[in-house]
Chain A
């Protein structure tokens, strides 16, 4: 429980006081900042409503004439709210944040190209090299086909991510250690795969754009 400095109401930690609406400097996790349950499946429209509703109440524009301490609290609370919305809105950054929230990092044991992607990564790089050297219709067509393949793989990875999220929401938080570890490993692998595929898609897109412009 914390106490609101403006109206002294005791309450659970929140961004805005439940009594007087003053911004509170509470140190919250990003789910709590948006008043959301700690679940990975999020209704985007509901989250946006919560974000707008809280913004209306705690944004610095509402405290332009308030004492300095309230202005400062408003700015800090709004910065946290904004970060929460930006992070949780996108499933990929939401997944990364889930790891962070549980004291894990994507980067730690994940520097190498995921094994099942290695072949695709190297083939694509070769293809793009050939395309740079000569922009023949065959090379262009191959790059376009590759772009489609990568897009398909990204879609599949997004589905896998949603499946992992659903598993966490079903029983992940209460599951035994082994099950949790398996879910973490799967989450890391999926996020890492998405990161590589996104880079590939970007590189192919750029190369095709350059070819089109030339």
Chain B
């Protein structure tokens, strides 16, 4: 199996990392040596795409015809009607009534996952170039812990559109705790304060014997460094007439100037801002005290989230053994000061806050590859999940901060005789009324065989998987028959839309694609053959004679197919060998667990 990579798909910057010899490292762009890819995408009127610095270069041209999109993460999983005035002002949108916002670029429109996919594609390209042609196909992508179902699904969709298999979504603060090697704490409570470009998360974990158990999480998916910039912009443009303030071009330049000033104020006591307007230059000196006055209410919102998370965890601030800072915004002295005050201890910030999430994603990728069996993440669902009941109430089925994967089974029946369908409306949120919660999806149970009201019994299982995404299955209790459940997400792209986008993006690349798939299949074959040879060498005594013969048979067939060009045959034989060796692999794992528990692998990553 090919390696799994870790990706931090951030609001402001994105990174890709991988684990090597047990230690994670960020992969730099081989051309520029830079590790951060600015999450900026430019689209030309002809549909051409530029990402990162190339997109920023286009943005600098005031006469440009391209649309330059920043902070696309803020738009992931949102319906048209959910845009705030600030978000609406920044770009042109098509069709704000639909279940997905769409950026308008000339005659074309782009859903947020398509834009994010361009960032992912660029990370993939860079990493493949840096690693001399090794394919990047399977990834762990991080998301804010407080992302809802639609936002998570949109992130997975972006991966699919970029031709990547998203093996797992991991919450950013949880990933950060992995990067810090906090398993050495052994039995302690950790708070991870993650103040990024566009989102804020706080997670409280209990770490014991390599198990990272999240006990509470809270946050705000629309609170971040962007808000600090906007507060400065609002102050800066306050004296200008309304028409000037509504000018998108001027606003963008003001934002860039504000961001630069904010960065300087992390170390300097004051910063100069100079902004060209239609009516001459605007000059201003921003002192740190001015900035902190603007920042205070924003930082306070994050502190409020921390208090709620502590209350959910039933812990006093003094019970926290370590505080970890994540995200570029934690460079601001006011943020560090307030966090230290609330938790009564100085936070950890030895790993670059811009890299820590990607490094943690790579560690989790290592766990998924079986390279770090000493670690295990037990994450939680950030929001309660429920259904709408009679009278428009929200009935909670899965409570927030439930460890995932988690499931609950609910029985449904009919209200009138011979009813053929039951409608179910799934909600996410903490409010009592259905209309105050976020609609997640709707589905119809049925067709139900005609019967008196109340007689049919349909058992519906709501399962939140390890990615925090909902799966629904239904079974008729009388007939024992599985019902197919056609869940219609309230927000986001449909499968058909994603298929169509994929077809459009592949267009001429068919030949190329075939070739890539063949390389991938061969890589898989090499990997499993090598792994098996190694395992048989070290743990041969754990396999029976008959079992060894079967595995050798399958390995021989695979080795023969591998030198041919039939990739489907190769894939099938990989699967066969995988099946034949799974019980053996499990036995090795059991054997290794005891040893792995004792192994000190902390030093490798800290």
Q: Which residues of A contact B423 (CB under 8 A)?
A: none
Chain A nearest CB from B591 CB (Å) reads 10
A7 contacts B583, C-beta separation under 8 Å: yes
Q: A127 on the interface (CB 8 Å rule)?
A: no
B407 contacts A76, C-beta separation under 8 Å: yes
A52 contacts B583, C-beta separation under 8 Å: no
Q: A55 on the interface (CB 8 Å rule)?
A: yes
A61 contacts B465, C-beta separation under 8 Å: no
Q: Which residues of B contact A75 (CB under 8 A)?
A: 405, 463, 465-466
B405 contacts A82, C-beta separation under 8 Å: yes
Q: Give 19 CB contacts A-B under 8 Å.
A: A6-B583, A7-B583, A7-B586, A21-B586, A21-B590, A52-B209, A52-B376, A55-B211, A55-B376, A56-B211, A57-B590, A59-B378, A61-B377, A61-B466, A65-B1, A65-B368, A67-B575, A67-B582, A76-B407
Interface string of A44-70 (1 = CB under 8 A from B): 000010001001110111101111001
With contacts A60-B405, A75-B466 taken as known, whether A70 is within 8 angstroms of B377 at the C-beta atoms is no
In the bound complex, what is the Cα–Cα distance between A22 and B172 (angstroms)?
30
Contact of A79 among B368, B407, B587 (CB under 8 A): B407
Contact of A56 among B402, B575, B579, B593 (CB under 8 A): B593
Q: B448 on the interface (CB 8 Å rule)?
A: no
Interface string of A78-104 (1 = CB under 8 A from B): 111011011000000000000000000
Q: Which residues of B contact A10 (CB under 8 A)?
A: none
B578 contacts A65, C-beta separation under 8 Å: yes
Q: Which residues of A contact B406 (CB under 8 A)?
A: 79, 82-83
How many interface residues does chain B have, given as a range? Answer: 35 or more
A60 closest partner in B (C-beta)? B466
Q: Which residues of B contact A2 (CB under 8 A)?
A: none
In the bound complex, what is the Cα–Cα distance between A51 and B403 (angstroms)?
12
Interface string of A1-20 (1 = CB under 8 A from B): 00000110000000000011
B589 contacts A62, C-beta separation under 8 Å: yes
In the bound complex, what is the Cα–Cα distance between A67 and B404 (angstroms)?
21
Contact of A57 among B377, B404, B593 (CB under 8 A): B593
Q: Which residues of B contact A62 (CB under 8 A)?
A: 370, 373, 589
B565-597 CB contacts (< 8 Å) to partner A: 575, 578-579, 582-583, 586-587, 589-590, 593
Q: Which residues of A contact B583 (CB under 8 A)?
A: 6-7, 19-20, 22
Seed contacts A48-B208, A86-B403; 6 additional CB < 8 Å A-B pairs: A20-B587, A21-B590, A55-B211, A61-B367, A62-B589, A67-B575
With contacts A55-B378, A62-B589, A64-B368 taken as known, whether A79 is within 8 angstroms of B582 at the C-beta atoms is no
B372 closest partner in A (C-beta)? A61
In the bound complex, what is the Cα–Cα distance between A55 and B1 (angstroms)?
24
B-side interface residues toward A, CB under 8 Å?
1, 4, 167-168, 208-209, 211, 364, 367-370, 373, 376-378, 402-408, 463, 465-466, 575, 578-579, 582-583, 586-587, 589-590, 593
Q: Which residues of A contact B369 (CB under 8 A)?
A: 64-65
* Of listed A7, A21, A70, residue having the most chain B CB within 10 A: A21
A67 contacts B579, C-beta separation under 8 Å: yes
Contact of B211 among A7, A21, A52, A76 (CB under 8 A): A52
A65 closest partner in B (C-beta)? B1
B365 closest partner in A (C-beta)? A64
In the bound complex, what is the Cα–Cα distance between A7 and B406 (angstroms)?
26
B399 closest partner in A (C-beta)? A86
In the bound complex, what is the Cα–Cα distance between A108 and B597 (angstroms)?
47
B403 contacts A64, C-beta separation under 8 Å: no
Q: Which residues of B contact A65 (CB under 8 A)?
A: 1, 368-370, 578
Q: Which residues of B contact A55 (CB under 8 A)?
A: 211, 376, 378
In the bound complex, what is the Cα–Cα distance between A22 and B466 (angstroms)?
18
In the bound complex, what is the Cα–Cα distance between A59 and B575 (angstroms)?
21
> Mostly helix, strand, loop or mixed at chain B's interface?
mixed
B586 contacts A52, C-beta separation under 8 Å: no
How many interface residues does chain A have, given as a range? Answer: 20 to 34
Chain A nearest CB from B106 CB (Å) reads 41
A105-148 CB contacts (< 8 Å) to partner B: none
A66 closest partner in B (C-beta)? B582
Q: Which residues of A contact B582 (CB under 8 A)?
A: 6, 20, 22, 66-67, 70
With contacts A79-B407, A82-B404 taken as known, whether A52 is within 8 angstroms of B167 at the C-beta atoms is no
In the bound complex, what is the Cα–Cα distance between A7 and B581 (angstroms)?
11
A85 closest partner in B (C-beta)? B403
Q: Which residues of B contact A82 (CB under 8 A)?
A: 378, 402-406
In the bound complex, what is the Cα–Cα distance between A61 and B405 (angstroms)?
11
Q: Which residues of A contact B586 (CB under 8 A)?
A: 6-7, 20-22
Chain A nearest CB from B466 CB (Å) reads 5
Q: Which residues of B contact A64 (CB under 8 A)?
A: 4, 167-168, 368-369
In the bound complex, what is the Cα–Cα distance between A52 and B582 (angstroms)?
22
Q: Which residues of B contact A86 (CB under 8 A)?
A: 402-403
Contact of A83 among B376, B378, B407 (CB under 8 A): B407
Q: Which residues of B contact A80 (CB under 8 A)?
A: 407
B587 closest partner in A (C-beta)? A20
Chain A nearest CB from B581 CB (Å) reads 11
Contact of A67 among B376, B578, B587 (CB under 8 A): B578
A52 contacts B208, C-beta separation under 8 Å: yes
B589 contacts A21, C-beta separation under 8 Å: yes
